[in-house]
A and B are shown apart, each in its own frame.
Chain A
Amino acid sequence: MDSFLGLDATILARIQFGFTVSFHFIFPAISIGLASYLAVLNALYLWKRDATYLRLFNFWVKIFAISFAMGVVSGIVMSYQFGTNWSGFSDKAGPVVGPLMAYEVLTAFFLEAGFLGIMLFGRRKVGPGLHMLATLMVAVGTAISATWILSVNSWMQTPQGFGMNEAGQFIPEDWWAIVFTPSFPYRLAHTLTAAYLTTAFIVGGTGAWHLLRGHGHNPGVRTMFSMAMWMIVVTAPLQVMVGHEHGLNTLEHQPVKIAAMEGHFESHPDGAPLILLGLPDQAAGEMRYEISIPHLSSVIFGLGWNGAMEGLDVVPDAEEPPVAVIFWSFRVMVGLGFLMVGAGLWGLWARWRGALYATPMLWRAMVAMGPSGLVAVIAGWITTEVGRQPYVVYGQLRTADAVSPLGASAVGWSLIAFVVIYFTVFGAGVVYLLRLMSKPPELNEREGPDEGPIRTAGLTPHQMVEDGQAGDGQAETGRGAPRPAE
């Protein structure tokens, strides 16, 4: 087998998929939550006629537009990765997963892309009602998209409803069973909640940043911080509960993954300990320097004080996933999850004391935790995807049999190209996002909700992104100020 920098084509293809999908998922994780947030802001604005909501809509819609664009272009890459690097998977599992992804395109991608233009640039052209509808359609589209892709992923984790033909292809027999696999509802709930929580921390962190910079008088800053803190105090504990249910489901269907997450190399017939920290040594099959609480793992999984739990010793070594990665990524995710609950409670307490806008320590903590949702989401995906190894379709198709017949150098060089280009292009994108977030949401007094001429001709999309301004009311405000680029 040929190799590239000492790595074979399979591991390179895995690194490439892991890299491109992790990078990609950052943007949907932001845009799923942000699309819903924008729909809420726009609805509140139309309902209460409070310009603060319009100001916030115009502030976040620019950020949404950039992260959505990066999500689209990095997503096109994903739709071709299956064929370029995983042609064995495409040929064999295509009849099952292909139609689900085609439905994602037909029901979600077109919906989002079709209404995005109107959402971004069309408020004046179509009127408030249709603009609200377009904003809602974009938000609904992001959720539909998540539903289909998680259905695909769940089928790969807990496959059912298929037969096999003589060419070794998975043949769909029961579409209902394929779409609704046992892990699907838990995975969907966990991922959507994660996206909302991620967005809440980005919004809250941005609000906290402006509070620290002395913009506490700005009603937009106060409102975004307050809304985010409410969202966190509700969704963070909810996410802990949903995650727990997801874990119980995984124990039922993928016990080996749970053994790796828990770091249980050995079976515990009389109650398994909860290992808080330790150094997994997979070669020796033991946990070094372990700090653990006896019986607690069995209790958490609802098996009782002395509930038996199987360890990695019940499966052959070739069936074990890489333990250290899963053990640590799981702890990162759970640790951040509890910190998020803590942040939510702190915010609630500060609010109860009437000190939400007078607690700089809370603001600092929120700025620090701004990206915590993104880190937790990636850690969670690493846990579940690496935990499925050595299979790509759990128990059915091995990863090594799914890879394309490519030379290691072809995969290696394309991996290098992806890494270099993703870091430069999306790195620049992140700089632009941070630059937008670091400017407080301003409302020009003349940027009246319904004043000014209705534009009848031409389109002016770039006005939407003019600094400190937004599409609405552009006609008579701020036109004299040139963009920095000019």
Chain B
Amino acid sequence: MAIDLTLAWALLLAFAVFTYVVLDGFDLGLGILYPFFPKKQDRDLMMNSVAPVWDGNETWLVLGGGGLFAAFPLAYAIILPATYPLIVAMLLALIFRGVAFEFRWRAGRPFSAWVWDGAFIGGSTLAALCQGMILGTLLQGIEVEGRAYAGGWWDWLTPFTLLCGVSVVAGYALLGACWLNIKTEGGIQARARVAARVAGLATVAGIVGVSAATPFLETAYFERWLAWPGILEVAIVPVLVAALTLWLARALTSGKGPDWLPMLLALGLFLLCFAGLGVSMWPYVIPPAVTLQDAAAPESSQMFMFVGAVVLVPIILAYTAYAYWVFRGKLDPDEGYH
């Protein structure tokens, strides 16, 4: 029973983190794309497309952090000090982009409007970069002694973590562009598709780079990915990535098919990356030192929360879906201003 509960929490947290990436990914992506849409009316439209839902999206990050704290307190207590500067930078970046949603409309002068646009761009990009680097730090392994982080203060800064960071920035930009493709029409939609192609190329390059580097970080990764005969099973992940990439390229260049198709395919790519990450890390929560079991909270804690989560998460998904439904459809640029 205890084993099942820990596994259940691992899956639930993976679900929370993936939902966060899916939802906040595209709205951070809009911030990353802002420099390529300099016209004020395009920017207004982009921000309006997520204004009613962004705090809900960010709440999944709180659930990811809070859930890790609750279900795997040891992992939380090691990962956060190990990635301290990245976490602090990410939080401060999220402050800048979060307040920009409100402050941008309050700014009295062009200069302060420009400042809050800059805060939205810088905050979104830095938050995405930090999230990718945190992932990279985790993947490359964290030094642990006893029950605490034992590494140095710059361990999180390596070419590998930077590669992960840049890849996540590209990936979020892809999601942002696919979101715009759904929500807009005309010229801005055409430019969104161009942006999606560029960001898509960069994302796939990032996926290839990170995947190529990962097996050489730890012998366990190498054996899991490249040893015979396991390679036959795990090879399905890269094969599917290649297939989805080709499909996405076709969907974006042909312009045919429903507007939501590129988004769906991009999310498919993210899901595969997530699965690949699971293959690499299992059964560790902090490779190569701490397994999920080591870090698990006592059964009484996991059970107490699990009962609530099973009931509440479907309800949350239902009303979140409702909120998206209320604000569905193409944005009408004429609605925003005259």
Nearest CB in chain B to that of A460: its residue: B335
On chain A, the residues within 8 Å of B103 by CB distance are: 66, 428-429, 432
CA distance A215 to B52 in the complex (A): 33
Task: Assess whether B62 is in contact with A405, with CB atoms less than 8 Å apart.
Answer: no
Q: Which of B55, B80, B149, B319 has the most CB of A within 10 A?
A: B55
Determine if B198 is an interface residue (Cβ-Cβ < 8 Å): no
Determine if B220 is an interface residue (Cβ-Cβ < 8 Å): no
Identify the stretch in A92-100, A204-212, A254-262, A308-316 within 8 Å (CB) of chain B at 4 or more residues. Answer: A92-100
Task: Assess whether A65 is in contact with B102, with CB atoms less than 8 Å apart.
Answer: yes
Which listed residue, A68, A121, A169, A483, touches B52 by the CB 8 Å rule? Answer: A121
CA distance A171 to B76 in the complex (A): 17
Which listed residue, A72, A99, A125, A172, touches B327 by the CB 8 Å rule? Answer: A125
Determine if B113 is an interface residue (Cβ-Cβ < 8 Å): yes
Task: Assess whether B312 is in contact with A165, with CB atoms less than 8 Å apart.
Answer: no
Which listed residue, B51, B105, B313, touches A483 by the CB 8 Å rule? Answer: B105
Task: Assess whether B81 is in contact with A79, with CB atoms less than 8 Å apart.
Answer: no
On chain B, the residues within 8 Å of A436 by CB distance are: 106
**Distance (Å) between the CB of A455 and the closest chain B CB?**
7
Task: Assess whether A83 is in contact with B65, with CB atoms less than 8 Å apart.
Answer: yes
Chain A residues touching B, majority SS: helix
Determine if A418 is an interface residue (Cβ-Cβ < 8 Å): yes
Task: Assess whether A87 is in contact with B105, with CB atoms less than 8 Å apart.
Answer: no
Within 8 A of B (CB), among A101-129: 101-107, 109-118, 120-122, 125-126
Are A406 and B66 CB-contacts (below 8 A) given A90-B77, A105-B59? no
Determine if B7 is an interface residue (Cβ-Cβ < 8 Å): no
Determine if A82 is an interface residue (Cβ-Cβ < 8 Å): yes
On chain B, the residues within 8 Å of A110 by CB distance are: 56, 59, 63, 312, 316, 319-320
CA distance A456 to B244 in the complex (A): 35
On chain B, the residues within 8 Å of A269 by CB distance are: none
Determine if B227 is an interface residue (Cβ-Cβ < 8 Å): no
Determine if B67 is an interface residue (Cβ-Cβ < 8 Å): yes
Determine if B212 is an interface residue (Cβ-Cβ < 8 Å): no
Task: Assess whether A465 is in contact with B147, with CB atoms less than 8 Å apart.
Answer: no
CA distance A417 to B79 in the complex (A): 21
Within 8 A of A (CB), among B105-119: 105-110, 112-113, 119
Task: Assess whether B56 is in contact with A457, with CB atoms less than 8 Å apart.
Answer: no
Task: Assess whether B330 is in contact with A94, with CB atoms less than 8 Å apart.
Answer: no
CA distance A405 to B150 in the complex (A): 8
Chain B: how many interface residues by the 8 Å CB criterion?
84
Nearest CB in chain A to that of B108: its residue: A484
Which listed residue, B108, B149, B316, B320, touches A485 by the CB 8 Å rule? Answer: B108
Within 8 A of B (CB), among A403-417: 404-407, 410, 414, 417
Task: Assess whether B73 is in contact with A462, with CB atoms less than 8 Å apart.
Answer: no
**Distance (Å) between the CB of B280 and the closest chain A CB?**
23
Which listed residue, A70, A414, A482, touches B99 by the CB 8 Å rule? Answer: A70
Within 8 A of A (CB), among B127-162: 147-150, 153
Which listed residue, A80, A120, A479, touches B80 by the CB 8 Å rule? Answer: A80
CA distance A485 to B298 in the complex (A): 54
Which listed residue, B63, B84, B105, B308, touches A406 by the CB 8 Å rule? Answer: B84
Are A102 and B305 CB-contacts (below 8 A) given A76-B58, A485-B105? yes
Determine if A425 is an interface residue (Cβ-Cβ < 8 Å): yes
Chain A: how many interface residues by the 8 Å CB criterion?
87
Are A114 and B99 CB-contacts (below 8 A) given A414-B84, A485-B113? no
Determine if A302 is an interface residue (Cβ-Cβ < 8 Å): no
Are A457 and B88 CB-contacts (below 8 A) given A121-B51, A425-B99? no
On chain A, the residues within 8 Å of B95 by CB distance are: 73-74, 77, 421, 425
Task: Assess whether B81 is in contact with A94, with CB atoms less than 8 Å apart.
Answer: no
Task: Assess whether B70 is in contact with A99, with CB atoms less than 8 Å apart.
Answer: yes
Task: Assess whether B298 is in contact with A80, with CB atoms less than 8 Å apart.
Answer: no
On chain B, the residues within 8 Å of A101 by CB distance are: 66, 69-70
On chain A, the residues within 8 Å of B319 by CB distance are: 110-111, 114-115
Determine if A91 is an interface residue (Cβ-Cβ < 8 Å): yes
Task: Assess whether B102 is in contact with A79, with CB atoms less than 8 Å apart.
Answer: no
Task: Assess whether A459 is in contact with B335, with CB atoms less than 8 Å apart.
Answer: yes
Task: Assess whether B331 is in contact with A458, with CB atoms less than 8 Å apart.
Answer: yes
Nearest CB in chain B to that of A93: its residue: B73
Within 8 A of B (CB), among A187-220: none
Determine if B78 is an interface residue (Cβ-Cβ < 8 Å): yes
Determine if A167 is an interface residue (Cβ-Cβ < 8 Å): yes
**0/1 string, B185-206, CB within 8 A of A gives 1:** 0000000000000000000000
Which listed residue, B77, B98, B329, B336, touches A94 by the CB 8 Å rule? Answer: B77
Nearest CB in chain A to that of B89: its residue: A417
Are A117 and B51 CB-contacts (below 8 A) given A80-B80, A405-B148, A418-B92? yes
Which listed residue, B56, B70, B91, B322, touches A102 by the CB 8 Å rule? Answer: B70
On chain B, the residues within 8 Å of A68 by CB distance are: 55
Determine if B18 is an interface residue (Cβ-Cβ < 8 Å): no
On chain B, the residues within 8 Å of A82 by CB distance are: 69, 76
Determine if A69 is an interface residue (Cβ-Cβ < 8 Å): yes
**Distance (Å) between the CB of A127 and the closest chain B CB?**
11
**Distance (Å) between the CB of B108 and the closest chain A CB?**
5
Given contacts A175-B304, A465-B102, 18 further A-B contacts (CB under 8 A): A73-B99, A77-B95, A82-B69, A95-B301, A101-B70, A106-B63, A110-B56, A113-B56, A113-B59, A115-B323, A117-B51, A167-B147, A421-B96, A435-B108, A436-B106, A458-B330, A461-B48, A463-B336
Can you pick out 21 interface pairs between chain A and chain B where the beta carbons lie within 8 Å of each other? A66-B106, A69-B55, A70-B99, A72-B58, A72-B98, A88-B77, A90-B76, A94-B73, A99-B301, A106-B308, A110-B56, A114-B316, A118-B52, A122-B327, A169-B298, A428-B103, A436-B106, A458-B329, A459-B52, A460-B335, A485-B113
The 3 closest A-B pairs by CB, nearest first: A94-B73, A117-B52, A98-B70
Interface residues of B (CB under 8 A from A): 40, 44, 47-49, 51-53, 55-56, 58-59, 61-63, 65-67, 69-71, 73-74, 76-81, 84-85, 87-88, 91-92, 94-96, 98-99, 101-110, 112-113, 119, 147-150, 153, 297-298, 300-301, 304-305, 308-309, 312-313, 316, 319-320, 322-323, 326-327, 329-332, 334-338
Interface residues of A (CB under 8 A from B): 65-66, 68-70, 72-77, 79-80, 82-84, 87-88, 90-91, 94-96, 98-99, 101-107, 109-118, 120-122, 125-126, 165, 167, 169, 171-173, 175, 404-407, 410, 414, 417-418, 421, 425-426, 428-429, 432, 435-436, 455, 457-463, 465-466, 479-480, 482-486
